[in-house]
Structure 1
């Protein structure tokens, strides 16, 4: 049950769907599009802008809750809307989100309070972190900056939120949860920028860091913290191209080389840290001229041409990945059935009728691993491949619960290098003969579909077959198989789908 305030009470109507602000509410409080903090029993769980983040309706403006926050909206709470700039309480009232006899508590399993960050994720923010832990983060950042400069040969310095907090007041931003480093590339050709970044990534791995590539021009280093958490330290490439300075992932502006180098220092949490020569120039290019004003509702926006630039040069391998990462990290992932799909049963029956009772299967785009686990239970070696880290975590967890052995690996069909490497690895191992992709091809662009077929051709080279189920574009996919030297040997309708069996000889 959803209980809420009566419409218009105090100008705010709150429910589990979101907040409805009565007509004229922002004007009465002297707000333009200023940040408003949402507090539940005094804890800030989110911040929004009442105009740009709201949908205009005949009954006023409606602001939906962030998806990650909704599962926590259980029981009763004192809801407060507070102007972030001056601390004025704009609205406060008792709200019952459900009829559960408890106070609403937005926290992790250990009881640490969480807040929605600018990316829509629930995080334990720095304002909920003690001084010693914040100091540990800055110490780690200092070490990483020094290693990037001394070992990788990069002109590295503080950037984004860390630099912003240092210049404003010498402290980490309270509504931030990670750390950021940038460097100015020596190169202006994209291929050289990529080579430089990949080399730096390898250097940091060799130094013992846990490193995750985020694009062809940035990577993340995970730093363990004394309180059991981990903090991500992002390392972004900056470069000059076409007369403008660019900085992954969202920045383009008039920043000259002499604004960045030679580097200087700033103080952050009592430590001296390397910074750009003129920090205010980089901060204005990053956040706009209002960068000195704290804004927890800030979100990066970029023009379409800059988005195309960043995707085309650096982020193509991550196309669609954020959407699936968010899905597998949301409550919706728990709604995925745990049993095998009808298509998996169909494939197993076909193989068994052909006399193949033990041929291994590479489940491409395995998701939660439900089909790969079922194949393993039927005695078939199974490899579950997915680009989304969270999907792989769920697959490993489900396989352990089921008592099955499933080899879980990363495969990104937007990255030809990983396709070739993983395809060669599986082909060489020889445990898997068949490739399997259920409803995956529908989600892929043409280039990634081509990599799906290339990978399948490598995996099935020992006489195996590719089993595909699609909702649309089946004939086009069959032509693509033929274009790669294969042939469709069977086709039939499924429940709202088409099923194909292909082979390469």
Structure 2
């Protein structure tokens, strides 16, 4: 029996009628292409929404459901398409229902409704609620390139650890359950079982692996001590990535960030067994089903494109305590760039309001360190005016956009990626810049609210390393509740920031109120917000 009877897409979400009261996984398609999946729930539509749905109230056919659009999709809902709903298979081996569809034109535009990124690649809402990419939408050759990268990364890790590496996550689930890669997956996943037991030794080994991968010329992002990501571009655009997860046994408990913390023996994991992945053989854990249960639960045999990880709080706390998190909200800021919400106009010759305020307070001979430079607009203008500028950002996509915006022959800032959550990278940068003869002015526009406490501590540490007795550091701050888009955990008070800076020998010498337009990630609005512009210097007493 067909589960979904009819569908009515509206501006706020999707109203649909089902034939029976069941908890099913529903996939949403735009013009036949899956863009999102969710778990059905009995949520009433807001007043007036879906009033035009021709509900058949006879028998069990009066069941109406409402699902709001996810925030990640909302600003892409322009144009015209056909919205289809498909009830996915409710048991292993079953087939999905037929699609039920209806036309949708939220703004009346006749242009096709497309969910694409800055490079024109199709996007879907992923398991983290953000827009990402799916293998099924990949351009020709991407899967082969991704598997080639997987082979290369695996060989490099095996060169250090031996035969202790295997596929995990979706790269294990798809071939075991379906004999193919999961069409809604977006990457390749590798894991290894460390040679060590103590977390400190495991950490040192993980850093060694990162150095080995970088020395081989790979572009490596560290998401935590126990999670590396090798990112690969193709023809000037992001193409794919390979995750590498650290695993180890401690007192009979298997730990593998970010989801596994369970009793296990080494002989349940090693030596690996061969597994056919597309057209090549990859190593799998000795008992693949054991890993799949730990990752995806007892129901792993039933396809669930809406699956989200529900990691127990003790496991989250343990992994964070041992391995930290170097990746907090990086993907959200990346998304601002990839979705085309961040621009970089080479023709711009004026500084932002905050940067102009800094410029008036900064001697001509001072070099500028622009932390959180985004697409580099201010850094580019400063460089064009003859200043020496080091411009750094958390998002590699923002830095790439800044580089592409540079005009040939024009003075350019030095652009690079810096993760302020990585103490090693911060200290390395501070030592490098402090060794230069020119004095530094540190600038952070929209920075302090955007980094968590560890990141701010590293900002102050960097200032302490670079500022000479007459040097300045300038930051603006959304103080308290001034911007409704700033999440609660990023709200700061000036008094808190002053106390943090004091811990590194810095004192506040100026705090000037101002109003500037501010947009936060995931928000389309850019309200005029009260700000505080601050200046810090070395404490003299």
Report the TM-score when normalising by structure 2: 0.80
1:175 aligns with 2:146: no
Pick which of 440-449 and 294-303 moved more.
Answer: 440-449
Matches of 1:118 and 1:100, distance apart in 2: 30
SS at match of 1:147: helix
1:345-377 Cα distance to aligned partner (Å, 9 max, x none): 2222223xxxx2232211222233233233323
SS at match of 1:272: strand
The 3 A distance-change label for structure 1 pair 468 and 155 is same
The 3 A distance-change label for structure 1 pair 299 and 446 is closer
1:498 aligns with 2:488: no
Pick which of 284-293 and 152-161 moved more.
Answer: 152-161
Counterparts of residues 445-464 of structure 1 (less than 5 Å):
445-461=452-468, 463-464=470-471
The 3 A distance-change label for structure 1 pair 474 and 45 is closer
Which of 111, 118, 125 pairs up with 1:102? Answer: 111
SS at match of 2:458: helix
- Find the counterpart in structure 1 of residue 67 from structure 2: 63
SS at match of 1:429: coil
Matches of 2:500 and 2:167, distance apart in 1: 47
Counterparts of residues 113-262 of structure 1 (less than 5 Å):
113-128=122-137, 134-153=143-162, 155-223=164-232, 230-241=239-250, 243-262=252-271
Deviation at 1:332, TM superposition (A): 4.0
The 3 A distance-change label for structure 1 pair 151 and 41 is same
Matches of 2:124 and 2:497, distance apart in 1: 44
CA contact (8 A) 1:68 1:330 kept: no
Deviation at 1:129, TM superposition (A): 5.1
Pick which of 117-126 and 95-104 moved more.
Answer: 117-126
- Find the counterpart in structure 1 of residue 379 from structure 2: 372
Matches of 2:459 and 2:112, distance apart in 1: 49
Deviation at 1:157, TM superposition (A): 0.5
1:106-136 Cα distance to aligned partner (Å, 9 max, x none): 4567766543332345555333458965355
1:16-50 Cα distance to aligned partner (Å, 9 max, x none): 442234xxx34x24531x22121222222222212
CA contact (8 A) 1:260 1:276 kept: yes
Matches of 1:37 and 1:72, distance apart in 2: 18
Matches of 1:130 and 1:386, distance apart in 2: 29
Pick which of 324-333 and 109-118 moved more.
Answer: 109-118
Matches of 1:108 and 1:414, distance apart in 2: 27
1:76 aligns with 2:80: yes
Matches of 2:330 and 2:297, distance apart in 1: 28
SS at match of 1:277: coil
SS at match of 1:262: coil
Deviation at 1:455, TM superposition (A): 0.6
CA contact (8 A) 2:127 2:306 kept: yes
CA contact (8 A) 2:374 2:399 kept: yes
CA contact (8 A) 1:213 1:219 kept: yes
CA contact (8 A) 2:445 2:476 kept: yes
Matches of 2:402 and 2:160, distance apart in 1: 37
CA contact (8 A) 1:396 1:406 kept: no
1:262-284 Cα distance to aligned partner (Å, 9 max, x none): 21111121422211111001111
SS at match of 1:324: helix
CA contact (8 A) 1:224 1:230 kept: yes
SS at match of 1:435: strand
SS at match of 2:374: coil
Matches of 1:286 and 1:341, distance apart in 2: 47
Deviation at 1:12, TM superposition (A): 3.6
1:19 aligns with 2:14: yes
Counting helix residues as a fraction of each chain, which structure ranks higher? Answer: 1
CA contact (8 A) 2:374 2:398 kept: yes
1:55-100 Cα distance to aligned partner (Å, 9 max, x none): 8756665433344444543332222111121332363212223322
- Find the counterpart in structure 2 of residue 486 from structure 1: 506
The 3 A distance-change label for structure 1 pair 312 and 328 is farther
CA contact (8 A) 2:14 2:67 kept: yes
Provide the aligned length of Structure 1 versus Structure 2. Answer: 487
Matches of 2:163 and 2:225, distance apart in 1: 16
- Find the counterpart in structure 2 of residue 4 from structure 1: none
Cα RMSD, aligned residues only: 3.3
Counterparts of residues 299-310 of structure 1 (less than 5 Å):
299-310=308-319
1:38 aligns with 2:28: yes
Deviation at 1:207, TM superposition (A): 3.0
1:424 aligns with 2:419: no
